[in-house]
């Protein structure tokens, strides 16, 4: 079995080398699946991620979700505590690069984690059980671990990010579903 580090470098390379048109096409398919998803349809407050480094593109999903009246949050990271908090993403939100190079809102209108109805989670790799491998900072694992077990979470991935098995430790938090294309 590959180690976490081996999986990370393999998938990071695949993300980097994937053609932009393939990324956009697959992201649109994933968006369609997400918008039809029961859990997503019911959710009022949804935390998305702002895609970077070749991840599944969430920009259009966020626009569509807003159009149908959902309140959208994205994570704001605290490097000192390696934690993150959901901040409301307004249409006119100015974005700045956060501590890990991910865009986040400048004005931080925070939402309590327990008020989230759904969390859309990025990952480098997932398996069919929902185990996820992130970039190794543990921000999402720490964040997901403070939420109620009933809080739905959906990972978004490309087909090459779905592996038979992800090595996990006690600190790794899995997602409830994975949508991929």
Question: Which pLDDT value is given to residue 106?
Answer: 85
Asked if 89 and 75 touch (Cβ cutoff 8 Å), the reply is: no
What's the pLDDT band for 72 if we cut at 50, 70, 90? very high
150 or 81, higher pLDDT = 150
Q: For residues 42 and 11, give the distance between their C-alpha atoms in angstroms, rounded to a whole number.
A: 32
What's the pLDDT band for 81 if we cut at 50, 70, 90? low
Q: Is the pLDDT of residue 178 over 90?
A: yes
**The model scores a pTM over 0.85:** yes
Asked if 117 and 42 touch (Cβ cutoff 8 Å), the reply is: yes
Fold of 4-180: Rossmann fold (3.40.50)
Write the burial class of residue 11 (CB in 10 Å: 0-12 exposed, 13-18 middle, 19+ buried).
buried
Average pLDDT over residues 151-165: 97
Beta pairing partners, 11:
none
Give the tens place of pLDDT for each residue, 124-134.
999 999 999 99
Would you list the domain boundaries of the chain? 4-180
Question: Which pLDDT value is given to residue 130?
Answer: 97
Q: Tokens standing for 135? A: 């970039």
- Burial pattern 25-55, b for ≥16 Cβ within 10 A else e, equals ebbeebbeebeebeebeebebbbbbbbeebb
């Amino acid at each position: 079995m590959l180690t976490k580090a081996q999986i990370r470098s393999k998938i990071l390379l695949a993300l980097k080398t994937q053609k932009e048109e393939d990324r956009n096409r697959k992201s649109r398919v994933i968006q369609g699946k997400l918008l039809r998803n029961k859990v997503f349809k019911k959710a009022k407050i949804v935390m998305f991620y702002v895609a970077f480094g070749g991840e599944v593109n969430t920009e259009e999903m966020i626009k569509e979700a807003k159009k149908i009246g959902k309140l959208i949050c994205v994570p704001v990271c605290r490097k000192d505590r390696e934690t993150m908090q959901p901040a409301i993403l307004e249409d006119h939100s100015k974005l700045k690069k956060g501590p890990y190079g991910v865009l986040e809102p400048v004005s931080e209108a925070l939402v309590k984690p327990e008020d989230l109805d759904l969390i859309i989670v990025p990952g480098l790799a997932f398996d069919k059980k929902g185990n996820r491998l992130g970039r190794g900072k543990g921000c999402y694992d720490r964040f997901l671990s403070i939420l109620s077990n009933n809080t739905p979470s959906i990972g978004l991935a490309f087909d090459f990010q779905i592996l038979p098995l992800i090595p996990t430790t006690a600190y790794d938090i899995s997602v409830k579903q994975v949508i991929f294309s």
